[in-house]
Chain A
């Protein structure tokens, strides 16, 4: 569904006279393939190239070298541009920058309206999208009266209404409180599991990445690690060297190992830790 081959992206830094003074290599020879229906998490610190990669997937940026192919369409082919952007929707960090409508349902209808969808179908899509993210009861409200998590779910509904096959979420929870974060991640997982939409979630929060089918770790414009969450998070030392977090329970398991307990690598959940400690579910309270 998404294929990047030797993808490189350079930003030119210019002085006041427009001469190139420095070339910044934001992406270097990135190869990756995402299959339809996958849930992918992309991790990496600021400046690692995550957002640049995301913008290539919906053709907001074009490769300096290499190629990006979305569903068989090359992003450099101008004729496919609108089709690609329709297939790969994008949700950004700040919900306030993405909501334009005065009423929730108008905001969600904006995308399909721009695509020239007939009016009765726009309303169908609005209703369906708001239902998927659990915001249908708020359809007549002003976005100003919603919480951060609710606003972000409206942004997601606005993308769903365009019927994309893939949604790229660029740190959608960075500005939300813990309750809002949970709402948005629940919506993302439902989209993936129930609707079969491919999700690419860019995040700093490791506990959000453990639900992914695969995790890509970026650093310095390159994909440095990739694999299942278990494979990636079991490399605690490497993750720490890249200044990334691993889930708290994984850190706890690592600490126990350091203190002499023998435990398997890659413990990601409370259940796995309990099993490794020889505790059985149903043993009851002591």
Chain B
């Protein structure tokens, strides 16, 4: 699996007085099995970009290639592409609609033209992998708690067995417990099922501790692309874009400004603690 965007631009309301460019000249490659964090302030083009990736929007210019083939070319069936590149929208639980949880999750495989047995098998497996218990399968999706609803909605996309899973702020509006559960779930799917994951997030802490690569979007293009440590070393530029580094980075910078020579590139708590102890020992030696 590979996705490539080649010099992609997207203009809303093209040709009208309301035309506005959301993406311009964006190029990027995403490889098999990557875990990518996509960050950017509201209006930076993140949502447009992910909709281009699964063919919900067609580029005004440039191409999106899936396994080397133009997704809007004659060789590609867009409908099957969308089952391979699954998109979980913001507040996906608003899209639950069936009379019970199992039927709701079966809806995707049903549209793929699978037999009823196969739909059921996939739905059960997807629900189990997101941790919805069997006694809830026959309940109305609207009786579930907020976190459970969101899991069921994610299962609806998983049941189509996508190769790539794109999640648009999957933890928005959840409490810390729900957030940790969903992030652990996504990390687990990436690790155990080998799914390529693109996670859109506003939380720098969540991104710092989970993903392997970060794409930072600003003004319709990718401004930074690298490991969390590389990207968060551009603290000032990130702030200019309305973003920030993880809060622990600021703590480390503050300690350094007071004369403790810590490496400020630390982005998780345990890294930072190790670095502080190392410096203290050196100082006392």
Instruction: List the interface of chain A (C-beta within 8 A of B).
Output: 44-47, 93, 147-148, 171, 174-180, 204, 207, 243-245, 247-249, 251-252, 255-256, 259, 261, 270-271, 273-274, 277, 279-281, 283-286
Report how far A249 CA is from B269 CA in the complex, Å. 8
- Chain B: which residue is nearest A284 at the CB level? B259
Q: For chain B, what secondary structure do more than half of its interface residues adopt (helix, strand, loop), or is it mixed?
A: helix
Are A261 and B277 in contact, CB atoms less than 8 angstroms apart?
A: yes
| Cβ distance B91 to chain A, nearest Cβ, rounded Å | 9
> B170-214 interface mask toward A, CB cutoff 8 Å, 1 = contact, 0 = none?
001111111010000000000000000000001011000000000
Report how far A70 CA is from B269 CA in the complex, Å. 43
Are A280 and B176 in contact, CB atoms less than 8 angstroms apart?
A: no
Tell me whether A285 and B146 are in contact in the complex, defined as CB-CB below 8 angstroms, given that A249-B251, A255-B270, A270-B251 are known contacts: no
19 contacts between A and B (CB under 8 A): A147-B42, A174-B172, A175-B173, A178-B202, A178-B243, A179-B243, A249-B251, A251-B269, A252-B273, A255-B273, A256-B276, A270-B250, A273-B255, A274-B258, A279-B259, A279-B260, A280-B258, A283-B259, A285-B259
Q: Decide yes or no whether B95 CB sits under 8 A from chain A.
A: no
- Chain A: which residue is nearest B270 at the CB level? A255
Tell me whether A273 and B242 are in contact in the complex, defined as CB-CB below 8 angstroms, given that A204-B175, A256-B277 are known contacts: no
Are A259 and B273 in contact, CB atoms less than 8 angstroms apart?
A: yes
Cβ of B204: which chain A residues have Cβ within 8 Å of it? 178
Q: Decide yes or no whether B55 CB sits under 8 A from chain A.
A: no
Are A273 and B251 in contact, CB atoms less than 8 angstroms apart?
A: yes
Q: Decide yes or no whether B248 CB sits under 8 A from chain A.
A: yes
Are B172 and A175 in contact, CB atoms less than 8 angstroms apart?
A: yes
Cβ of A252: which chain B residues have Cβ within 8 Å of it? 248, 251, 269, 272-273, 276
Report how far A45 CA is from B280 CA in the complex, Å. 37
Instruction: List the interface of chain B (C-beta within 8 A of A).
Output: 41-43, 145-147, 172-178, 180, 202, 204-205, 242-244, 246-248, 250-251, 254-261, 269-270, 272-273, 276-277, 280
| Cβ distance A154 to chain B, nearest Cβ, rounded Å | 16
Report how far A225 CA is from B147 CA in the complex, Å. 24
Cβ of B242: which chain A residues have Cβ within 8 Å of it? 177-179
- Chain A: which residue is nearest B44 at the CB level? A177
Report how far A207 CA is from B255 CA in the complex, Å. 19
Closest 10 CB pairs of A and B: A243-B177, A45-B175, A179-B242, A279-B258, A255-B273, A283-B259, A270-B254, A248-B247, A286-B259, A46-B175
- Chain A: which residue is nearest B277 at the CB level? A259
Are A279 and B255 in contact, CB atoms less than 8 angstroms apart?
A: yes
Report how far A171 CA is from B176 CA in the complex, Å. 13
Report how far A93 CA is from B177 CA in the complex, Å. 19
Cβ of B172: which chain A residues have Cβ within 8 Å of it? 174-175
| Cβ distance B12 to chain A, nearest Cβ, rounded Å | 14
Are A255 and B243 in contact, CB atoms less than 8 angstroms apart?
A: no
